Structure 1
């Protein structure tokens, strides 16, 4: 069943006029007819079934909402991934796939060794595009929340992000055979905490950035014995977090 997000809180039995973008996709692109039902998630992450009641002469679609049991689909802890600015279309790939895997926030930052550069005049447009990609991925993967996507100029701004645990994926840790820090730290995370995971760009993380992160109490972790591409590393991390927090947890079905 198709899923859409609404921008305001709703209640059982509410009749709402759909936002233009939702109306266009459901009614025009997917050709929904009166009586058809789609899923809608309100601003408070509650799930509803919405029956299409009518499409007015001026093109507005109206639905009646029926509250249904909201499933547990979000990661128990909030994950923020901070990615050194990658080249070409990799930022869209990361935003889309990380959303499907449960991320709460994606931060792109200008790393010391980033090859790609975002000019200040283009940042807002690029972030808007990435936000649209993440929103679409949240609908497709039946998330209850839409991740936020932001850009900051450097690692210092990333490290200022409030969190309960900061991890930095560092390839030298993997080369040295470190294989337990990631698992050990993820296992001590409790529901509701926020984990910030930092990844470098194609050029890697500079020694100065490693020192800067460690000074801010970030923990260096390896991501297995292989060296991962910049767009693969965040997904490996999210898969590992999901395995430890969800698939191995007896409290979560």
Structure 2
């Protein structure tokens, strides 16, 4: 399998460029040599075949070839809005959601959240999770990197009309009796946003606020799934239907 690297800069065929430090280090760890092939992508939806032109002590230069049209995205935009699970579970969720084709992830602080972030700590975590998504794209073959949105309190996010635009079908993942089966609530190929809670779930008041904002309660079956499992189960189900 070719080494795939994401570069946060527009790529142009026929150019020679020095890789940024992180990408250069990756090439060195893989022990690539001048003349070896690799694939580059910049998030625009294409791949650029390239080859190593020169290796220095810390610098790696590559020659960029002509772009290849590649489409590995889901045919709909999937947004996961979720109460952040604690410890390393959020890292794993971001990685797996990226592999499954998520377009956006909205981390939320909820009433029962164990992980509570704000200020500089929230910004550092957002940047870290964005890097996790990039690494997952390099591994799984995606050419578009999902967006990790800034951490927000649930109530403020639900009340923000701009944030609620263009979300598609709005689904509230709820274990309560009476929630509609997912298959009845989401059409195939439909853009959607799923809202799910942290450990302990959303409070009754939060579920009521979500429903008032247009989210329809849906169930994922008779078992109670963990905070980091439920949104991935929905995303996998939606992606496998297309």
What residue number does 1:75 align with?
Answer: 74
* TM-score (structure 2 length as normaliser): 0.89
What residue number does 1:62 align with?
Answer: 62
Q: Which moved more, 1:38-47 or 1:6-15?
A: 6-15
Please report how far the alpha carbon of residue 130 of structure 1 lies from its aligned counterpart in structure 2 after TM superposition.
1.4
Once residues 10 and 138 of structure 1 are traced to their aligned partners in structure 2, the CA distance between those partners, rounded to angstroms, is 17
Contact 2:50 2:62 in 1 (8 A): no
Contact 1:41 1:47 in 2 (8 A): yes
Question: Any residues of structure 2 matched to 1:1-253 within 5 Å, and which?
Answer: 1-26=2-27, 28-56=28-56, 59-70=59-70, 72-150=71-149, 151-158=151-158, 160=160, 161=163, 162=165, 163-172=167-176, 175-176=177-178, 178=179, 180=181, 182-187=182-187, 189-190=189-190, 194-244=191-241, 246=242
Q: Residues 53 and 159 from structure 1, CA distance in 2 versus in 1: closer, same or farther, beyond 3 angstroms?
A: farther
Please report how far the alpha carbon of residue 66 of structure 1 lies from its aligned counterpart in structure 2 after TM superposition.
2.8
Please report how far the alpha carbon of residue 159 of structure 1 lies from its aligned counterpart in structure 2 after TM superposition.
6.0
Once residues 200 and 66 of structure 1 are traced to their aligned partners in structure 2, the CA distance between those partners, rounded to angstroms, is 45
Please report how far the alpha carbon of residue 196 of structure 1 lies from its aligned counterpart in structure 2 after TM superposition.
1.2
Uncovered stretches (5+) of structure 2, i.e. residues with no partner = none
Please report how far the alpha carbon of residue 188 of structure 1 lies from its aligned counterpart in structure 2 after TM superposition.
5.1
Aligned-residue CA RMSD in angstroms? 2.0
Contact 2:24 2:58 in 1 (8 A): no
Contact 2:110 2:202 in 1 (8 A): yes
Contact 1:109 1:158 in 2 (8 A): no
Give the paired residue count.
Answer: 236
Once residues 210 and 228 of structure 2 are traced to their aligned partners in structure 1, the CA distance between those partners, rounded to angstroms, is 21
- 1:105-150 Cα shifts (integer Å, max 9, x gaps): 1111111121222243411121122111111111111111111223
Uncovered stretches (5+) of structure 1, i.e. residues with no partner = 247-253
Q: Residues 121 and 16 from structure 1, CA distance in 2 versus in 1: closer, same or farther, beyond 3 angstroms?
A: closer
Q: Residues 120 and 184 from structure 1, CA distance in 2 versus in 1: closer, same or farther, beyond 3 angstroms?
A: same
Contact 1:95 1:130 in 2 (8 A): yes
* TM-score (structure 1 length as normaliser): 0.85
